[in-house]
């Protein structure tokens, strides 16, 4: 097994600084956040440009080229509700360090993101939900099967669909947490890759609690077979936990300096 | 259904490290498959074979090696002769006389010898220390300085002395650094990390991950090498993608099968062929596991292993 793949989530237009930088095509704030995340150990960077209805294509191209030219063709997850913008981003994307990730498809209104990934030889995040939170794992696995079949019919390799169980917030859905973990085990038993917005579990919690909850959950998820997560790599406790779990899983060989590399 | 062979070519590869200069320079490493898996991908750089001589000349050598170098009056003479044997890709000079618990030769004397040998032969040169970490730190650092421009590999940079050898060989004098650990995968990785944190270019590092004679804890050697190669290629671990060099001679010639006299164990037969057999068996096994280069003592072993490589690579 390969190492756990972290997708850095901090280039997101929900942040006022990033939104402004994207609007003004100001490289500095974006490059700063990219560097912080890569220095902290992120493999992929998520590039969320929001709905980007007006100039999405132009913006995505600019941002993809900006990041890849400054950071040795860093692999990227292209994240927007504007499908044309994702295609535009892929058209200028350099695959030397990994395929682009389309973020994200679901089993409902965003099912065509799978088609888009298939047509462009990309990886796709496949959220196992159609409308809102799935009722149970029967529903999750039904969506999983449907999306898997759709992708494979279109010529995708199964390994290029990264299934997202839909992480749920503890404050409000504490009783559903083990079900999410069981879904990850089911993906893993089928040999499938998986990912997701893991820090969703700690939404609404005090700032100093979140790294603790996220770290505990990532360890439990990795035990279940989760292969990737969309996280804040600048959370040191979380990254240390991931690196330690990679050692326990024999995904990486231990060395005394393992936390520094 | 027709049989479709699945290629096990990896997306990662071992670093290529060049030793020596000019036409005789060698490249070791570079592969993206397991050893001799030519059905997965063509061989990039075939494994290389070195021949080892010592600063002690023939003083500590068995009779058969004395016969090999008959007529040589100095270590430099031995060096000139050694590089002419069939299959020799590089020369390894072992400075064992520097050991404070042995001859304790002064560093200056050994450095002068290394320079003389380097001047006398155009084959790539590998310098081995005396196994004393303090002395090696000084000795190998001085050799790195004295042999500037020769692009030599300085072995025996260990956890205890990697800073001085790494800084001189790897940073100041642009030589190649041998990172040495003793059959300990975690330490092998750690040492590479430490050298890279020191600033040594990982493309200038060759690992010696330890060895043993076949039959003497050898399964640990092989499992260590297998695990390292798997981490480097399958897991894409760039802290372990350095090529591996294995000094086989020291271990192989030290065990009783290779050294007990015919008078003591007549039923074992000729001592020279036993020693060669031990050296060949050990070298073949480490090459089949992970080694990109081996260091041997007897010209017959060198020719045999060189032929094996030609047949398989």
Nearest CB to A254 within list B186, B194, B228:
B186
ipTM: 0.82
Contact B189 A255 (CB under 8 A): yes
Q: Give per-residue pLDDT as tens, B13-70.
A: 999 999 999 999 999 999 999 999 999 999 999 999 999 999 999 999 999 999 999 9
For residue B6, is it within any domain?
Answer: no
Residue A210 zone, left/alpha/beta (φ > 0; ψ -120 to 50; rest): alpha
Is B10 among the domain residues? no
Tell me, what DSSP letter sits at residue A73? T
The shortest C-alpha distance from B262 to chain A (Å) reads 46
**pLDDT more than 70, % of chain B:** 100
Verify whether the Cβ–Cβ distance B193 to A251 is below 8 Å.
no
> Is B11 inside a domain boundary?
no
In this complex, do B237 and A252 lie within 8 Å of one another by their Cβ atoms? Answer: yes
Residue B7, pLDDT score = 83
Please check whether residue B93 is in contact with residue B125, taking contact to mean a CB–CB distance below 8 angstroms: yes
Q: Is residue B5 part of a domain?
A: no
**Residues, chain A, total?**
261
Distance CA B116, CA B162 (A): 26
Residue B227 has pLDDT above 80, yes or no: yes
- CB-based contact, B232 to chain A, within 8 Å: no
Residue B9 has pLDDT above 90, yes or no: no
* More confidently predicted of A246 and B215: A246
Which of B193, B197, B235 is facing A252, going by the closest CB pair? B235
Q: Does some domain include residue B2?
A: no
Q: Per the structure block, which two tokens stand in for B127?
A: 């310098």
Examine the pLDDT at A66 and tell me if it is beyond 70.
yes
CB contact under 8 A, B227 and A253: yes
Cβ of A252 within 8 Å of Cβ of B185? The answer is no
Which residue out of B189, B194, B202, B234 would a mutagenesis test of the A interface target, given it has the greatest number of A Cβ atoms within 10 Å? B189
pLDDT digits (tens, 9 = 90+) for A12-62: 999 999 999 999 999 999 999 999 999 999 999 999 999 988 899 999 999
How many Å apart are CA B221 and CA B218, to the nearest integer? 5
In a domain, B193, yes or no: yes
- Show the CA angle centred on residue B211, arms to residues B291 and B165, nearest 5°: 80
Q: Provide the domain count of chain A.
A: 1
Using CB atoms, pick whichever of B190, B227, B240 lies closest to residue A257.
B190
* Gap from A251 CA to chain B (nearest CA, Å): 7
Position with higher pLDDT, A41 vs B9: A41
- The answer to whether residue B21 neighbours chain A at the CB level (below 8 Å) is no
What stretch of H or E contains B122? none
Interface test with B, best of A4, A41, A253 (most B CBs within 10 A): A253
The per-residue pLDDT for range A148-190, each reduced to its tens digit, is: 999 999 999 999 999 999 999 999 999 999 999 999 999 999 9
Tell me if residue A172 falls in helix, strand or coil.
Answer: helix
Give the phi and the psi of residue B99 in degrees, each rounded to 5.
-60, 120
From the list B185, B193, B235, the residue facing A251 with the nearest CB is: B235
CATH number of the domain enclosing B260: 3.20.20.20
Residues 156-195 of B with CB under 8 A from A: 185-187, 189-190, 193-194
Strand ranges of the sheet holding B176-180, from the earlier edge strand across to the other edge: B205-208, B176-180, B153-157, B125-128, B90-94, B48-54, B293-296, B245-247
Tokens matching residue B32: 């993206």
Q: What is the number of structural domains in chain B?
A: 1
Give exposure, A104-133, as e/b (b: 16+ Cβ within 10 Å).
bbbbeebbebbbbbbebebbbbbbbbbeee
CATH number of the domain that residue A141 is part of: 3.20.20.20
**Boundaries of domain holding B186:** 17-312
Q: What tokens appear for A98 in the block?
A: 């990994």
**Residue A1 pLDDT exceeds 70:** no
CB contact under 8 A, B236 and A256: no
Domain that holds residue A28: 5-260
The share of chain A scoring above pLDDT 70, in percent, equals 100
CB contact under 8 A, A253 and B197: no
State mean pLDDT over B292-303. Answer: 98
d(C-alpha B303, C-alpha B296), whole Å? 10
The answer to whether residue B7 is domain-embedded is no
**Pairwise CB contact (< 8 Å): A260 & B193:** yes
């Amino acid at each position: 097994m390969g190492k756990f793949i972290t997708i850095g989530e901090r280039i997101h237009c929900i942040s006022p600084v990033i939104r402004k930088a994207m609007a003004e095509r100001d490289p500095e704030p974006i490059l700063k956040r990219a560097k912080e995340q890569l220095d902290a150990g992120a493999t992929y960077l998520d590039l969320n440009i929001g709905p980007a209805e007006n100039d999405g294509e132009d913006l995505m191209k600019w941002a993809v080229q900006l990041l890849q030219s400054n950071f040795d063709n860093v692999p990227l997850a292209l994240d927007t509700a504007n499908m044309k913008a994702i295609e535009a981003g892929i058209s200028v994307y350099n695959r030397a360090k990994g395929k682009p990730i389309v973020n994200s498809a679901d089993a409902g209104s965003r099912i065509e993101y799978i088609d888009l990934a298939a047509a462009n030889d990309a990886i796709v995040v496949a959220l196992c939900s159609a409308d809102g939170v799935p009722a149970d794992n029967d529903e999750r696995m039904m969506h999983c099967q449907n999306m898997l079949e759709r992708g494979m019919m279109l010529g995708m390799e199964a390994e290029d669909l990264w299934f997202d169980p839909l992480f749920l917030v503890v404050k409000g859905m504490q009783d559903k947490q083990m079900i999410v973990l069981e879904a990850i085990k089911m993906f893993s038993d089928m040999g499938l890759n998986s990912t997701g917005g893991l820090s969703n579990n700690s939404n609404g919690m005090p700032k100093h609690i979140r790294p603790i909850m996220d770290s505990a959950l990532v360890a439990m998820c990795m035990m279940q077979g989760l292969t990737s997560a969309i996280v804040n790599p600048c959370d040191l406790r979380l990254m240390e936990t991931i690196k330690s779990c990679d050692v326990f899983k024999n995904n990486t060989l231990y060395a005394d300096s393992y936390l520094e590399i | 259904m027709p049989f479709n062979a699945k290629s096990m070519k990896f997306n990662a590869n071992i670093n290529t490290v060049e030793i020596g200069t000019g036409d005789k320079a060698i490249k070791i490493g570079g592969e993206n498959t397991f050893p001799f898996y030519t059905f997965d991908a063509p061989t990039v750089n075939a494994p290389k074979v070195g021949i080892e001589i010592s600063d002690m000349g023939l003083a500590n050598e068995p009779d058969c090696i004395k016969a090999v170098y008959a007529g040589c009056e100095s270590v430099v003479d031995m060096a000139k002769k050694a590089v002419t044997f069939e299959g020799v890709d590089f020369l390894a000079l072992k400075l064992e006389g520097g050991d404070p618990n042995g001859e304790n030769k002064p560093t200056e004397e050994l450095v002068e010898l290394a320079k003389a040998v380097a001047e006398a032969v155009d084959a790539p040169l590998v310098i081995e220390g005396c196994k004393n970490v303090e002395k090696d730190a000084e000795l190998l650092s001085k050799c790195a300085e004295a042999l500037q421009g020769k692009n030599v590999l300085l072995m025996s940079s260990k956890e205890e002395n990697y800073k001085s050898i790494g800084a001189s060989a790897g940073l100041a004098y642009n030589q190649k650094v041998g990172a040495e650990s003793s059959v300990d995968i975690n330490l092998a990785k750690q040492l590479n990390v430490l050298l890279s944190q020191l600033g040594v270019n990982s493309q200038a590092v060759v690992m010696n991950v330890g060895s043993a004679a076949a039959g003497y804890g050898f399964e640990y050697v092989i499992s260590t090498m297998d695990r390292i190669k798997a981490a480097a290629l399958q897991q894409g671990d760039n802290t372990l993608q350095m090529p591996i060099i294995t000094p086989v001679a020291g271990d192989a010639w030290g065990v009783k099968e290779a050294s007990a006299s015919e008078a003591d164990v007549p039923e074992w037969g000729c001592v020279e062929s036993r020693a060669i057999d031990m050296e060949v068996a050990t070298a073949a096994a480490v090459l089949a596991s992970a080694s990109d280069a081996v260091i041997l003592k007897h010209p017959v072993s060198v020719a045999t292993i060189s032929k094996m490589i030609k047949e398989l690579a």
